[in-house]
Structure 1
Amino acid sequence: MNILVVYTYPHQDSLNGAFLKKVTAGCAENAHVQKVQVLDLYGENFDPVLTFNQTKRRRDMHVDPALERYRQQILWADKLVFVYPIWWGRPPAMLLGYIDQLFASNFAYKDQKGLLPEGLLKGKSAVCISTMKGPATYPLFWLNNAHQVLMKRALLNFVGIKKVKFFEFGSMESAKGKQTQKLDRVFRYFQSIQS
Protein backbone atom coordinates (compact mmCIF):
# COMPACT_ATOMS: atom_id res chain seq x y z
CA MET A 1 0.00 0.00 0.00
CA ASN A 2 1.26 3.48 -0.95
CA ILE A 3 0.33 6.35 1.37
CA LEU A 4 0.32 10.06 0.59
CA VAL A 5 0.27 12.28 3.68
CA VAL A 6 -0.91 15.83 2.97
CA TYR A 7 0.36 17.88 5.91
CA THR A 8 -1.20 21.31 6.41
CA TYR A 9 0.27 23.31 9.26
CA PRO A 10 2.70 26.26 9.10
CA HIS A 11 5.55 24.33 10.76
CA GLN A 12 6.43 20.81 11.86
CA ASP A 13 7.63 21.65 15.38
CA SER A 14 4.04 21.51 16.64
CA LEU A 15 1.38 19.10 17.83
CA ASN A 16 0.25 18.61 14.23
CA GLY A 17 3.89 17.87 13.40
CA ALA A 18 3.90 15.26 16.18
CA PHE A 19 0.87 13.60 14.58
CA LEU A 20 2.69 13.60 11.23
CA LYS A 21 5.66 11.85 12.86
CA LYS A 22 3.37 9.24 14.45
CA VAL A 23 1.77 8.53 11.06
CA THR A 24 5.13 7.97 9.37
CA ALA A 25 6.55 6.00 12.32
CA GLY A 26 3.52 3.71 12.40
CA CYS A 27 3.75 3.16 8.65
CA ALA A 28 7.46 2.33 8.95
CA GLU A 29 6.57 -0.59 11.24
CA ASN A 30 3.75 -1.88 9.04
CA ALA A 31 4.60 -4.61 6.53
CA HIS A 32 1.52 -3.71 4.45
CA VAL A 33 2.86 -0.20 3.74
CA GLN A 34 5.25 -0.11 0.81
CA LYS A 35 6.00 3.61 0.60
CA VAL A 36 4.99 6.89 2.21
CA GLN A 37 5.23 10.32 0.62
CA VAL A 38 4.74 13.47 2.70
CA LEU A 39 3.45 16.61 1.00
CA ASP A 40 4.00 19.59 3.33
CA LEU A 41 1.83 22.29 1.74
CA TYR A 42 3.23 25.15 3.81
CA GLY A 43 6.77 23.78 3.63
CA GLU A 44 6.82 23.96 -0.14
CA ASN A 45 4.83 27.18 -0.39
CA PHE A 46 1.92 25.63 -2.26
CA ASP A 47 -0.18 28.41 -3.80
CA PRO A 48 -3.81 27.78 -2.76
CA VAL A 49 -5.21 30.68 -4.79
CA LEU A 50 -7.35 29.74 -7.79
CA THR A 51 -6.59 31.89 -10.82
CA PHE A 52 -8.74 31.85 -13.92
CA ASN A 53 -8.39 34.13 -16.93
CA GLN A 54 -8.35 33.93 -20.73
CA THR A 55 -5.28 31.68 -20.79
CA LYS A 56 -5.89 29.69 -17.60
CA ARG A 57 -9.38 28.25 -17.71
CA ARG A 58 -11.18 26.21 -15.09
CA ARG A 59 -12.09 23.48 -17.56
CA ASP A 60 -8.36 22.88 -18.15
CA MET A 61 -7.35 22.45 -14.49
CA HIS A 62 -7.03 18.68 -14.91
CA VAL A 63 -4.12 19.21 -17.32
CA ASP A 64 -2.48 22.27 -15.70
CA PRO A 65 1.26 21.50 -15.92
CA ALA A 66 1.96 23.31 -12.63
CA LEU A 67 -0.17 20.71 -10.83
CA GLU A 68 1.06 17.57 -12.62
CA ARG A 69 3.35 16.40 -9.79
CA TYR A 70 0.48 16.67 -7.29
CA ARG A 71 -1.88 14.77 -9.58
CA GLN A 72 0.70 11.99 -9.94
CA GLN A 73 1.01 11.76 -6.13
CA ILE A 74 -2.74 11.29 -5.80
CA LEU A 75 -2.83 8.66 -8.55
CA TRP A 76 0.12 6.83 -6.97
CA ALA A 77 -1.45 6.66 -3.51
CA ASP A 78 -3.77 3.92 -2.32
CA LYS A 79 -4.54 5.91 0.84
CA LEU A 80 -4.66 9.69 1.28
CA VAL A 81 -3.95 10.94 4.81
CA PHE A 82 -4.74 14.55 5.69
CA VAL A 83 -3.18 16.06 8.85
CA TYR A 84 -4.49 19.53 9.71
CA PRO A 85 -6.00 21.75 12.41
CA ILE A 86 -9.64 22.81 12.54
CA TRP A 87 -9.78 26.60 12.30
CA TRP A 88 -13.19 28.29 12.51
CA GLY A 89 -14.94 24.95 12.15
CA ARG A 90 -13.18 23.90 8.96
CA PRO A 91 -9.78 22.86 7.56
CA PRO A 92 -7.22 25.60 6.77
CA ALA A 93 -7.62 27.60 3.56
CA MET A 94 -4.30 26.13 2.39
CA LEU A 95 -5.78 22.61 2.38
CA LEU A 96 -9.03 23.76 0.80
CA GLY A 97 -7.04 25.53 -1.93
CA TYR A 98 -5.15 22.30 -2.63
CA ILE A 99 -8.45 20.44 -2.88
CA ASP A 100 -9.99 23.14 -5.10
CA GLN A 101 -7.18 22.77 -7.60
CA LEU A 102 -6.42 19.06 -7.47
CA PHE A 103 -9.88 17.55 -7.22
CA ALA A 104 -10.78 18.94 -10.63
CA SER A 105 -13.26 17.76 -13.23
CA ASN A 106 -11.83 15.10 -15.57
CA PHE A 107 -9.21 14.17 -12.98
CA ALA A 108 -11.07 13.48 -9.72
CA TYR A 109 -14.57 13.21 -11.18
CA LYS A 110 -16.35 13.20 -14.52
CA ASP A 111 -19.65 14.88 -15.30
CA GLN A 112 -22.35 12.67 -16.80
CA LYS A 113 -25.40 14.01 -18.63
CA GLY A 114 -28.47 13.96 -16.43
CA LEU A 115 -26.71 11.87 -13.77
CA LEU A 116 -24.57 12.48 -10.72
CA PRO A 117 -20.88 12.87 -11.58
CA GLU A 118 -18.72 9.76 -11.58
CA GLY A 119 -15.90 9.72 -9.02
CA LEU A 120 -12.61 8.86 -10.70
CA LEU A 121 -10.63 8.13 -7.53
CA LYS A 122 -12.50 4.91 -6.72
CA GLY A 123 -10.60 2.25 -4.81
CA LYS A 124 -8.66 4.72 -2.70
CA SER A 125 -9.29 5.35 0.99
CA ALA A 126 -8.65 8.36 3.20
CA VAL A 127 -7.84 9.26 6.80
CA CYS A 128 -8.45 12.74 8.22
CA ILE A 129 -6.49 13.62 11.37
CA SER A 130 -7.56 16.97 12.76
CA THR A 131 -6.79 18.90 15.92
CA MET A 132 -8.67 21.75 17.57
CA LYS A 133 -8.38 23.97 20.60
CA GLY A 134 -12.01 23.47 21.65
CA PRO A 135 -13.58 20.24 22.87
CA ALA A 136 -14.03 17.39 20.39
CA THR A 137 -17.81 17.67 20.81
CA TYR A 138 -17.85 21.26 19.54
CA PRO A 139 -18.18 20.41 15.80
CA LEU A 140 -20.88 17.82 16.49
CA PHE A 141 -23.15 19.95 18.65
CA TRP A 142 -22.52 23.49 17.41
CA LEU A 143 -21.73 22.94 13.74
CA ASN A 144 -23.87 19.88 12.93
CA ASN A 145 -20.68 17.98 12.16
CA ALA A 146 -20.00 20.31 9.21
CA HIS A 147 -16.32 19.33 9.07
CA GLN A 148 -17.03 15.64 8.49
CA VAL A 149 -19.86 16.44 6.09
CA LEU A 150 -17.49 18.64 4.09
CA MET A 151 -14.58 16.21 4.00
CA LYS A 152 -16.48 12.94 3.60
CA ARG A 153 -19.72 13.62 1.77
CA ALA A 154 -19.10 16.82 -0.16
CA LEU A 155 -15.54 15.99 -1.16
CA LEU A 156 -14.14 12.50 -0.75
CA ASN A 157 -17.31 10.50 -1.50
CA PHE A 158 -17.99 12.80 -4.47
CA VAL A 159 -14.69 11.81 -6.11
CA GLY A 160 -15.19 8.10 -5.41
CA ILE A 161 -13.35 7.70 -2.08
CA LYS A 162 -15.92 5.89 0.04
CA LYS A 163 -13.77 4.56 2.90
CA VAL A 164 -12.94 7.54 5.15
CA LYS A 165 -11.66 7.37 8.74
CA PHE A 166 -11.67 10.39 11.06
CA PHE A 167 -9.51 11.18 14.07
CA GLU A 168 -10.84 14.45 15.52
CA PHE A 169 -8.90 15.50 18.58
CA GLY A 170 -10.20 18.33 20.75
CA SER A 171 -8.83 20.20 23.76
CA MET A 172 -5.36 19.95 22.27
CA GLU A 173 -4.05 23.09 23.99
CA SER A 174 -5.20 21.91 27.42
CA ALA A 175 -2.82 20.43 29.96
CA LYS A 176 -5.48 17.71 30.39
CA GLY A 177 -5.83 17.13 26.63
CA LYS A 178 -4.37 13.59 26.75
CA GLN A 179 -2.03 14.42 23.88
CA THR A 180 0.25 11.42 24.48
CA GLN A 181 -2.66 8.95 24.38
CA LYS A 182 -4.00 10.55 21.19
CA LEU A 183 -0.60 10.42 19.52
CA ASP A 184 -0.22 6.75 20.51
CA ARG A 185 -3.68 5.97 19.11
CA VAL A 186 -2.69 7.35 15.70
CA PHE A 187 0.64 5.48 15.80
CA ARG A 188 -1.09 2.16 16.59
CA TYR A 189 -3.65 2.69 13.82
CA PHE A 190 -0.98 3.19 11.14
CA GLN A 191 1.16 0.42 12.58
CA SER A 192 -1.67 -2.05 11.97
CA ILE A 193 -3.71 -0.88 8.94
CA GLN A 194 -3.94 -3.35 6.10
CA SER A 195 -5.83 -1.34 3.48
Structure 2
Amino acid sequence: MSSFAVAPTALIVHAHPEPRSFSTAQMATAAQALRDAGYRVDVLDLYADPWAPVLAREEFAPVEGAFKPQAEQMRAVRDGTLDATVRAHLDRLLAADLLVLSFPLWWFSLPAVLKGWVDRVFVMGGVFGGDHGLFGDAALAGRRAMLLFTTGGPGESFRPGGAFGPMDDFLFHIHRGMLEFVGFQVLAPVITYGPARMTDQERTAALTRAGESVVRHATEVRTAVR
Protein backbone atom coordinates (compact mmCIF):
# COMPACT_ATOMS: atom_id res chain seq x y z
CA MET A 1 0.00 0.00 0.00
CA SER A 2 2.87 2.36 -0.80
CA SER A 3 0.57 4.99 -2.34
CA PHE A 4 -0.62 5.93 1.17
CA ALA A 5 1.55 7.87 3.63
CA VAL A 6 -0.11 5.95 6.44
CA ALA A 7 -2.12 2.75 6.48
CA PRO A 8 -5.47 3.38 4.73
CA THR A 9 -8.69 2.83 6.64
CA ALA A 10 -11.57 0.68 5.45
CA LEU A 11 -15.00 1.08 7.04
CA ILE A 12 -17.18 -1.99 6.61
CA VAL A 13 -20.86 -1.41 7.35
CA HIS A 14 -22.49 -4.83 7.73
CA ALA A 15 -26.20 -5.63 7.76
CA HIS A 16 -27.25 -9.21 8.44
CA PRO A 17 -29.27 -10.36 11.47
CA GLU A 18 -27.58 -13.76 11.77
CA PRO A 19 -23.96 -13.87 12.98
CA ARG A 20 -23.59 -17.43 11.63
CA SER A 21 -24.73 -16.52 8.13
CA PHE A 22 -22.61 -16.80 5.01
CA SER A 23 -23.00 -13.03 4.61
CA THR A 24 -21.42 -12.42 8.01
CA ALA A 25 -18.65 -14.92 7.28
CA GLN A 26 -18.03 -13.17 3.97
CA MET A 27 -17.77 -9.82 5.75
CA ALA A 28 -15.31 -11.25 8.31
CA THR A 29 -13.24 -12.82 5.53
CA ALA A 30 -13.11 -9.52 3.64
CA ALA A 31 -12.15 -7.65 6.81
CA GLN A 32 -9.24 -10.00 7.46
CA ALA A 33 -8.13 -9.87 3.82
CA LEU A 34 -8.03 -6.07 3.98
CA ARG A 35 -6.04 -6.19 7.23
CA ASP A 36 -3.59 -8.58 5.61
CA ALA A 37 -3.28 -6.09 2.72
CA GLY A 38 -2.31 -3.30 5.09
CA TYR A 39 -5.63 -1.65 5.86
CA ARG A 40 -6.87 -0.56 9.25
CA VAL A 41 -10.38 -2.03 9.31
CA ASP A 42 -13.31 -0.51 11.20
CA VAL A 43 -16.47 -2.66 11.28
CA LEU A 44 -19.95 -1.34 11.99
CA ASP A 45 -22.36 -4.25 12.54
CA LEU A 46 -25.79 -2.62 12.37
CA TYR A 47 -27.65 -5.54 13.93
CA ALA A 48 -25.12 -6.12 16.70
CA ASP A 49 -24.94 -2.44 17.67
CA PRO A 50 -28.01 -2.18 17.23
CA TRP A 51 -28.77 0.67 14.82
CA ALA A 52 -32.08 2.58 14.71
CA PRO A 53 -32.75 3.05 10.98
CA VAL A 54 -35.59 5.57 11.08
CA LEU A 55 -34.78 9.22 10.40
CA ALA A 56 -37.18 10.87 12.84
CA ARG A 57 -37.88 14.45 13.87
CA GLU A 58 -37.31 13.53 17.52
CA GLU A 59 -33.53 13.38 16.97
CA PHE A 60 -33.44 17.05 16.04
CA ALA A 61 -34.05 20.26 17.95
CA PRO A 62 -37.76 21.25 18.07
CA VAL A 63 -38.98 23.03 14.97
CA GLU A 64 -42.07 25.09 14.29
CA GLY A 65 -44.08 24.22 11.24
CA ALA A 66 -43.28 21.47 8.75
CA PHE A 67 -40.39 19.12 9.48
CA LYS A 68 -37.89 19.09 6.61
CA PRO A 69 -35.29 16.39 7.35
CA GLN A 70 -32.46 17.68 5.19
CA ALA A 71 -32.89 21.24 6.42
CA GLU A 72 -32.74 19.97 10.01
CA GLN A 73 -29.63 17.94 9.22
CA MET A 74 -28.00 21.10 7.89
CA ARG A 75 -29.00 23.02 11.00
CA ALA A 76 -27.78 20.27 13.31
CA VAL A 77 -24.38 20.17 11.57
CA ARG A 78 -24.12 23.96 11.77
CA ASP A 79 -25.19 24.17 15.41
CA GLY A 80 -23.31 21.10 16.62
CA THR A 81 -26.52 19.38 17.72
CA LEU A 82 -26.39 16.31 15.48
CA ASP A 83 -27.52 13.15 17.28
CA ALA A 84 -24.47 11.75 19.12
CA THR A 85 -24.70 8.28 17.56
CA VAL A 86 -25.14 9.71 14.08
CA ARG A 87 -22.20 12.04 14.69
CA ALA A 88 -20.02 9.12 15.76
CA HIS A 89 -20.93 7.09 12.67
CA LEU A 90 -20.42 10.12 10.43
CA ASP A 91 -16.95 10.67 11.90
CA ARG A 92 -16.07 7.03 11.19
CA LEU A 93 -17.32 7.43 7.61
CA LEU A 94 -15.28 10.61 7.09
CA ALA A 95 -12.17 8.88 8.47
CA ALA A 96 -12.35 6.04 5.94
CA ASP A 97 -10.47 5.81 2.65
CA LEU A 98 -12.66 2.89 1.59
CA LEU A 99 -16.31 2.16 2.42
CA VAL A 100 -17.60 -1.40 2.05
CA LEU A 101 -21.33 -2.00 2.37
CA SER A 102 -21.87 -5.67 3.31
CA PHE A 103 -25.36 -7.16 3.09
CA PRO A 104 -27.71 -9.75 1.60
CA LEU A 105 -29.62 -8.48 -1.42
CA TRP A 106 -33.22 -8.25 -0.21
CA TRP A 107 -35.95 -7.32 -2.66
CA PHE A 108 -33.21 -6.34 -5.11
CA SER A 109 -31.92 -3.63 -2.78
CA LEU A 110 -30.38 -2.87 0.60
CA PRO A 111 -31.88 -4.26 3.81
CA ALA A 112 -33.94 -1.59 5.57
CA VAL A 113 -31.44 -1.19 8.41
CA LEU A 114 -28.66 -0.38 5.94
CA LYS A 115 -30.81 2.01 3.91
CA GLY A 116 -31.67 3.68 7.21
CA TRP A 117 -27.97 4.03 7.96
CA VAL A 118 -27.57 5.90 4.68
CA ASP A 119 -30.64 8.04 5.46
CA ARG A 120 -29.25 9.12 8.83
CA VAL A 121 -25.47 9.21 8.26
CA PHE A 122 -25.21 10.64 4.74
CA VAL A 123 -26.05 13.94 6.38
CA MET A 124 -26.84 17.03 4.31
CA GLY A 125 -24.27 19.59 5.31
CA GLY A 126 -21.93 16.82 6.42
CA VAL A 127 -21.23 14.87 3.23
CA PHE A 128 -23.10 16.88 0.57
CA GLY A 129 -24.88 20.21 0.32
CA GLY A 130 -24.04 23.28 2.34
CA ASP A 131 -20.29 23.77 1.99
CA HIS A 132 -20.13 20.60 -0.12
CA GLY A 133 -21.37 19.98 -3.63
CA LEU A 134 -22.61 16.80 -5.28
CA PHE A 135 -20.81 13.95 -6.98
CA GLY A 136 -17.18 14.98 -7.65
CA ASP A 137 -17.51 18.06 -5.45
CA ALA A 138 -19.07 16.28 -2.47
CA ALA A 139 -17.24 15.70 0.81
CA LEU A 140 -16.20 12.12 0.03
CA ALA A 141 -14.64 12.84 -3.36
CA GLY A 142 -11.40 10.92 -3.72
CA ARG A 143 -12.60 8.09 -1.45
CA ARG A 144 -13.67 4.70 -2.76
CA ALA A 145 -16.67 2.50 -2.05
CA MET A 146 -17.82 -0.97 -2.98
CA LEU A 147 -20.69 -3.35 -2.36
CA LEU A 148 -20.08 -6.80 -0.87
CA PHE A 149 -23.22 -8.91 -0.92
CA THR A 150 -25.00 -12.20 -1.45
CA THR A 151 -28.06 -13.16 -3.43
CA GLY A 152 -30.72 -15.83 -3.16
CA GLY A 153 -30.85 -16.47 -6.89
CA PRO A 154 -28.10 -17.93 -9.09
CA GLY A 155 -25.77 -15.79 -11.16
CA GLU A 156 -27.43 -16.65 -14.48
CA SER A 157 -30.66 -15.07 -13.23
CA PHE A 158 -28.96 -11.68 -13.02
CA ARG A 159 -27.59 -11.58 -16.56
CA PRO A 160 -29.15 -9.97 -19.64
CA GLY A 161 -32.00 -12.25 -20.65
CA GLY A 162 -32.02 -13.93 -17.23
CA ALA A 163 -35.06 -14.29 -15.01
CA PHE A 164 -34.34 -11.04 -13.16
CA GLY A 165 -32.30 -9.07 -15.66
CA PRO A 166 -28.86 -7.48 -15.40
CA MET A 167 -27.51 -6.95 -11.89
CA ASP A 168 -26.32 -3.46 -12.85
CA ASP A 169 -29.97 -2.41 -13.22
CA PHE A 170 -30.59 -3.17 -9.55
CA LEU A 171 -27.40 -1.53 -8.33
CA PHE A 172 -27.68 1.77 -10.20
CA HIS A 173 -29.67 3.54 -7.48
CA ILE A 174 -27.07 2.52 -4.89
CA HIS A 175 -23.99 3.17 -6.99
CA ARG A 176 -25.13 6.43 -8.55
CA GLY A 177 -27.89 7.67 -6.26
CA MET A 178 -26.12 7.07 -2.93
CA LEU A 179 -22.39 6.48 -3.26
CA GLU A 180 -21.40 8.60 -6.25
CA PHE A 181 -23.84 11.29 -5.12
CA VAL A 182 -21.70 11.98 -2.03
CA GLY A 183 -18.46 11.82 -3.99
CA PHE A 184 -17.29 8.20 -3.81
CA GLN A 185 -15.49 6.51 -6.65
CA VAL A 186 -17.52 3.32 -6.92
CA LEU A 187 -15.58 0.10 -7.40
CA ALA A 188 -16.85 -3.11 -8.94
CA PRO A 189 -19.10 -5.05 -6.55
CA VAL A 190 -18.11 -8.36 -4.99
CA ILE A 191 -21.07 -10.74 -5.22
CA THR A 192 -21.61 -14.31 -4.09
CA TYR A 193 -24.59 -15.73 -5.92
CA GLY A 194 -26.80 -18.26 -4.16
CA PRO A 195 -24.57 -19.44 -1.28
CA ALA A 196 -27.50 -21.34 0.23
CA ARG A 197 -27.40 -23.64 -2.80
CA MET A 198 -23.70 -24.41 -2.41
CA THR A 199 -21.98 -27.31 -0.69
CA ASP A 200 -19.78 -26.58 2.32
CA GLN A 201 -16.72 -26.95 0.12
CA GLU A 202 -18.13 -24.53 -2.44
CA ARG A 203 -18.94 -21.99 0.26
CA THR A 204 -15.40 -22.19 1.63
CA ALA A 205 -14.03 -21.54 -1.85
CA ALA A 206 -16.49 -18.69 -2.34
CA LEU A 207 -15.32 -17.02 0.88
CA THR A 208 -11.73 -17.17 -0.32
CA ARG A 209 -12.70 -15.67 -3.67
CA ALA A 210 -14.66 -12.88 -1.99
CA GLY A 211 -11.76 -11.88 0.25
CA GLU A 212 -9.33 -11.88 -2.67
CA SER A 213 -11.75 -9.90 -4.84
CA VAL A 214 -12.32 -7.21 -2.22
CA VAL A 215 -8.59 -6.59 -1.91
CA ARG A 216 -8.05 -6.70 -5.67
CA HIS A 217 -10.85 -4.23 -6.38
CA ALA A 218 -9.80 -1.96 -3.54
CA THR A 219 -6.24 -1.70 -4.81
CA GLU A 220 -6.92 -1.54 -8.56
CA VAL A 221 -8.62 1.77 -9.24
CA ARG A 222 -9.20 0.80 -12.85
CA THR A 223 -12.03 -1.47 -11.68
CA ALA A 224 -14.13 1.59 -10.81
CA VAL A 225 -17.73 1.47 -12.06
CA ARG A 226 -18.67 4.10 -14.62
TM-score higher than 0.5:
yes
Matched, 1:89 2:108: yes
State the alpha-carbon separation in 2 of the partners of residues 14 and 116 from structure 1: 36
Q: Identify the match of residue 72 of structure 2 among 53, 60, 64.
A: 60
TM-score under structure 1 normalisation? 0.86
Q: Which structure: greater strand fraction?
A: 1
Q: Match of 1:38?
A: 43
**AA of the residue aligned to 2:44:** L
CA shift digits 1:143-184 (9 cap, x unpaired): 553431021111111111123220122122103593222211
Q: Which runs of 5+ in 2 are unaligned?
A: 1-7, 221-226
Aligned to 2:177: 154
Q: Kindly indicate whether the alpha-carbon contact (under 8 Å) linking 2:146 and 2:187 is maintained by their aligned counterparts in 1.
A: yes
Residue in structure 2 matched with residue 99 of structure 1 by the alignment = 118
**1:173 equivalent in alignment to 2:196:** yes
Q: 1:188 to 1:65 in 2, by over 3 A?
A: same
Q: Distance in 1 between matches of 2:125 and 2:26?
A: 33
For the pair shown, the structure with the greater C-alpha radius of gyration is: 2
The reply to whether residue 189 of structure 1 matches residue 213 of structure 2 is: yes
Q: Residue 11 of structure 1 contacts residue 43 of structure 1 at CA under 8 Å; is this kept in 2?
A: no
Instruction: Give the structure with the larger helix fraction.
Output: 2
Give me the TM-score of the superposition, normalised by structure 2.
Answer: 0.75
Q: Distance in 1 between matches of 2:187 and 2:205?
A: 22
| 2:23 pairs with one of 7, 16, 23 | 16
* Between 142-151 and 97-106, the greater mean CA deviation after superposition: 142-151
SS in 2 for 1:87: coil
Indicate how the Cα distance of structure 1 residues 78 and 133 shifts in structure 2: closer, same or farther if over 3 A, else same. Answer: same
State how far apart, in whole Å, the 1-side matches of 2:127 and 2:170 are: 20
Match of 1:73 among 92, 115, 118: 92
Question: Highest relative contact order (Cα 8 Å, sep 6+), 1 or 2?
Answer: 1
Query: Aligned-pair distance for 1:191?
Result: 5.0
